[in-house]
Amino acid sequence: MKVFADLHLHSKYSRGTSRYMDIFHLSSAAKKKGLNLLGTGDFTHPLWFKEIKSRLSEHAEGVYEFDGIYYLLTCEVCNTFEREGKTRRIHNLILAKDFACVEQVNEILKRYGNLEKDGRPTLTLPCEEMVELLKGEVKDVEIIPAHIWTPWFSLFGSRSGFNSVRECFGEESRKILALETGLSSDPAMNWRLSELDGFALVSFSDAHSPSTLRLGRECCVFELKDLSYDSLIRAIRKRDEKRFIFTIEVDPSYGKYHYDGHRKCGISLHPKEAMKYANLCPVCGKPLTVGVLHRVEELADREEGYVPKHAIPFKKLLPLREIISHTIGENTNSAKVVKIEEKLIRHFGSELAVLLHAEEAELRKIAGERIAENVMKNRREEIRIVPGYDGVYGIPLFGEESKSEKPERGKILQRRIDSFF
């Protein structure tokens, strides 16, 4: 069974999420995307826990189902604690095998934070202690540090993170299932750190809405004889290419924190340029938000291009809406873009089917020459991207088509494009 899995997302009970983040809309969006396994997200929230418990039916051991889409019980928490005179804020994913395990996890975590306040609760609990507690008291639970390079809330984050896995998790490091690369890095960037060789690298979307632009933009692809909680965990842990086939990534430049920068002043800089300004904004003099590329360069002990022994392959793909949007010069949520996307999905079965397998000749018949050409460029990883920075997404460039868009996107965008070239 081929499994396309996105295990990091949120419910309508998390801050900054769509009110449509419920099981019905998630299942519908997963079908359009081409996913068949989702994480529930937010199982620590009492109302969401009640909802998923009432709506999901058991498919196999540790796997639940709604309207043809399978689910694993998952959540994300924010561990906030003091270490060496600095406040640390680290996001971690938690996977649990069944509802009884979830109840145990929630019983433990409610001692350290208000689980009703937010779908992604803030816990006054160091990461190392949380792993020790959960792995010691709950039979089937796994922990994955989330989007490990994001500046503000992650393991290696420039603003509140650490310089190694061990600094954060101590002796409990060996109990960590995997590391999530996040949108602003890809596996190749992570392979440059030898200390990460002992961990599987996974990619998920961290979706806050059920839009195909967000859900499944990063995911993991497995080939399993049977879909169960244990079989999936084994596939991740053992990194067997026959079972854990590849991950789907957006180009890391597309992520919101790839370059260094200062959004307020419209300043985006490659790390080498940022260092010339001592990591201070050349406009206002305030500290730049140090991006993922900078942090990888700081911590890497290998040159670019190194591939470790148990590396899982990956493919870089931009979402279909981005391709359509930039090809025709319309906003990603415009009616025209959505109409073309839905037409392609109806014809080929799902967005991932379009991005991965659709034949160019058939694409030309359905969507026209320019969109077909850019879908194929996307598949061949030939699209350049003006890197994202300080919370601003990167900008894909599609050759001649993108030139007409420049005047409409303002002075800040023009400066980003000019500096990129």
Exposed e or buried b per residue across 335-363, where buried means at least 16 C-beta atoms within 10 angstroms of its C-beta: eebbebbeebbeebebbbebbeebeeeeb
Q: Which residues pair with 83 in a beta bridge?
A: 86
Cα maximum dimension of the chain: 61
* DSSP reduced 3-state for 89: strand
Tokens of 70: 């399978």
Residue 129's pLDDT band, with cuts at 50, 70 and 90, is very high
Give the rounded distance of the alpha carbon of 9 from its chain centre.
9
Q: Is the pLDDT of residue 7 over 80?
A: yes
What's the pLDDT band for 177 if we cut at 50, 70, 90? very high
Cα distance between residue 307 and residue 227, in whole Å: 29
The residues, ordered by sequence, that sit 6+ positions from 282 with a Cβ below 8 Å of its Cβ are 267
174: in domain? yes
Q: How many angstroms separate the CA atoms of 354 and 358, rounded?
A: 5
Q: What is the mean pLDDT of residues 300-317?
A: 95
Three-state SS string over 148-207 comes to: CCCCCCCCCCCCCCCCCHHHHHHHHHHHCCEEECCCCCCHHHHCCCHHHHHCEEECCCCE
User: What number of CA atoms fall less than 13 Å from residue 51's CA on the CB side?
Assistant: 17
Q: Tell me whether residue 391 is in a domain.
A: no
Q: Is 297 a member of any domain?
A: no
Q: How far apart are CA 105 and CA 251, in angstroms?
A: 35
Other Cβ atoms less than 10 A from the Cβ of 418: the count is 10
Residues 214 and 117 in one domain: yes
Residue 273, pLDDT score: 96
Give a yes or no: residue 291 inside a domain.
no
Give the per-residue pLDDT at 398: 83
Alpha helices in 270-409 (DSSP H): 271-276, 292-299, 320-328, 335-348, 351-356, 360-367, 369-379, 400-403
Domain containing 158: what range?
2-254
3-state helix, strand, coil split of the chain in percent (to 5) is 40, 20, 40
Residues 128 and 207 in one domain: yes
Q: How many domains does the chain have?
A: 2
User: Is residue 203 scored above 60 in pLDDT?
Assistant: yes
Beta bridge partners of 220: 5, 247
**pTM to 2 decimals?**
0.93
Query: Which of 205, 229, 254 is where one domain is finished?
Result: 254
Looking at residue 241, what is its pLDDT?
Answer: 84
Cα end-to-end span (Å), the chain = 44
Domain at 235, CATH number = 3.20.20.140
Strand partners, 79: 90, 123
311 part of a folded domain: no
Q: Is the pLDDT of residue 421 over 60?
A: no
Instruction: Please check whether residues 174 and 81 belong to one and the same domain.
Output: yes
| Domain end residue (candidates: 205, 237, 254) | 254
**In the structure, what pLDDT confidence band is assigned to residue 403 with cuts at 50, 70 and 90?**
very low
Number of H helices, E strands in the chain: 16, 17
Please tell me the predicted confidence (pLDDT) of residue 420. Answer: 47
